[in-house]
Amino acid sequence: MKKITALITICIIFALFLTGCGLNELSKDPDITGIIYSTGEQEILVVEGIESAGIVYEDWSEEGFRAVYFRIDTDTIILDEEEQKISFNNLYIGQLVDVWITGPVAESYPEQAKAKIIKVHP
C-alpha cells in the first residue's frame, strides 16, 4: 500500500512539474509572431510584419521590422498547428510562427533570445 501511495505522489508531482514547464504559456500572447526568415544550426531568425521570407534583408531592416534570432535547445518546446511536439528539423524558411521567449533578450538588431515555445501556424 505504501508503494502505491508513493507512486501516486510521484505521479502528482510529475504532473505539476509538467504543468509548470511552459505549455501553460500558450494561454498568454506570444512575444513575437512572424515569418522564419532564416535557419541555422539550432537557431532561427523570425521577422515580424513581413509577408514572406523572399523580402530582401535591407528592405525590412531599414523599415525597422522587429526581428529576433532565437536559440533553440533541448528545453525549447516546438509545436505544430495541432499543438503536437515536433522537432527542430520540421521548421523551415517561410513558416509563420508564434514564439515565447525565456530569459534575457539582447537588444541588438536583430534581437537575440532563447525560444521557450515555438508554435507553427497552419
| Structural domain boundaries in the chain | 29-120
The predicted-structure confidence for 74-85, as pLDDT tens digits, reads as follows: 999 999 999 999
Q: Assign domain 29-120 to its CATH superfamily.
A: Nucleic acid-binding proteins (2.40.50.140)
Question: Comparing C-alpha atoms, which of 92, 86, 79, 88 is closest to residue 25?
Answer: 79
Average pLDDT over all residues of the chain:
86
Tell me: pLDDT of 27 over 90.
no
Please list, residue by residue across 32-59, b when 16 or more beta carbons sit within 10 angstroms of its beta carbon and e when fewer do: bbbbbbebeeebbbbbeebeebeeeeee
Backbone angles phi, psi at 64, to 5 degrees: 80, 25
Tell me: pLDDT of 43 over 60.
yes
Q: pTM for the whole thing?
A: 0.79
Q: Where are the beta strands (DSSP E) in the chain?
A: 32-40, 43-47, 67-71, 77-79, 96-106, 111-120
Tell me: pLDDT of 15 over 80.
no
Tell me how far apart the alpha carbons of residues 120 and 25 are, in angstroms, rounded to a whole number. Answer: 15
